[in-house]
Amino acid sequence: MKIAVNTRLLMPGKLDGIGWFTFETLRRIVVDHPEHTFYFIFDRKYSDDVIFADNVVPIVLSPPTRHPFIWYFWLEWRIPSLLKSIKADMFLSTDGFISLRSKIPSCAVIHDINFVHRPKDLPFFSRVYYRYFYKRFARKATRLATVSEYSRRDIINTYDIDEDKIDLVYNGASKTFHPVKKERIEEIREQHSSGAPYFVFVGSIHPRKNIRNLLKAFELFKQDYKSSFKLVIVGKKFFLTKAMEEELQKMTFCDDVIFTGRLSSKDLNDVMAAACALTFVPFFEGFGIPLVEAMNCEIPILASNVTSLPEIAGDAAIYTVPDSPGNIRDGMIRLMKEEGLREDLIEKGRERRKLYSWDNTARELWKTIEHVLENNA
């Protein structure tokens, strides 16, 4: 069979949550299924590092999809023509984007629909595009997959999708994430936080990630818990960061907030494993890969009590109200003061992390792909 794949987000060095899902699942699937040919469709020059096997045929289909108007042109005009020319048996899209004009059977992975619930987090044209087209993508796709039961129910209820049409395919976390020894922790802290203990946040710097309230909570924590503690924020800037920057400028302890930007996998593991805790308090999350990365690094977790996060972290985290900086602060203080809490969360994380691996993700996604192939043979 010929399986065409939307790989426009498969850009090493620039991978985010969807990019990692694409990378980790495809590199397993194409190797495990040499009987099929996979056409990887890029929108710009690609890296040979993502051509995972001999049964992968890379195709560059311009123009680069940098704007909603180009998304539309690429999906509704360029993709249908290509699928027809290569005689594809199906189209797989790991970012949820499919072509409404193409008659080829399709499988779309919709990670979440945060833009329905928080539209103002996105620039105007992106917001309009997502809200108009994703409902149509979900209904047009032959089959869907998503990464949490929360997202699955949200998509079913919001878009009126038959629940038998959408599969649950949990994310995983890279095997590169692991705990480090005490001596190494001291070295990492010396390198990244001038030797001070710190909380860590990992994710794109985006309004949905609630950085502003995290900064407010850290300010309150520093006022109440006199120490050299720092807050390390790992991730690239995304949309609408002005409010966050204004909050930072108002802080008394702004010098104790460290922005690292995007880190390599090795450096990210080091920074995560040397943290006192992960403070991950977004307003909305379809899964939350940093939760599993923290479990693998054996550090405790403070997470929001909303959307998918309690489902994913289970009893391996303590929870907070994302709208309340004071409540987030209280969680930080609990992690530092409550006897036995950190050790209990770490132990529960060791058990919880067994649920999430990219091997499992790839196997479950393949079942969804196979369902499309078998029902359209």
Domain range annotation of the chain: 2-172+358-375, 182-355
What's the whole-model pTM score?
0.93
pLDDT at 239: 56
18-54: burial string, b at 16+ Cβ within 10 Å, e else: bbbbbbbbbbbbbeebeebbbbbbbbeebeeebbbee
Tokens of 203: 């994710």
pLDDT at 178: 95
CATH architecture, range 182-355: 3-Layer(aba) Sandwich (3.40)
Residue 317, phi then psi, degrees to nearest 5 = -145, 160
pLDDT at 12: 83
Can you spell out the DSSP letters for 206-241?
-GGGTHHHHHHHHHHHHHHS-S--EEEEES-B-S--
Establish whether domains 2-172+358-375 and 182-355 are of one fold.
Answer: yes
pLDDT at 247: 81
pLDDT values of the chain reduced to their tens digit, one per residue, 377 residues: 999 999 999 988 888 889 999 999 999 999 999 999 999 999 999 999 999 999 999 999 999 998 999 999 999 999 999 999 999 999 999 999 999 999 999 999 999 999 999 998 888 999 999 999 999 999 999 999 999 999 999 999 999 999 999 999 999 988 889 999 999 999 999 999 999 999 999 998 888 999 999 999 999 999 998 789 999 999 887 654 677 778 888 888 989 999 998 898 899 999 999 999 999 999 999 999 999 999 999 999 999 999 999 999 999 999 999 999 999 999 999 999 999 999 999 999 999 999 999 999 999 999 999 999 987 76
Domain 2-172+358-375 has CATH 3.30.1300.10: no
CA distance 162 to 22: 25
Cα-based torsion angle of the residue sequence 151, 153, 157, 158 in order, rounded to the nearest 10 degrees:
0
pLDDT at 14: 81
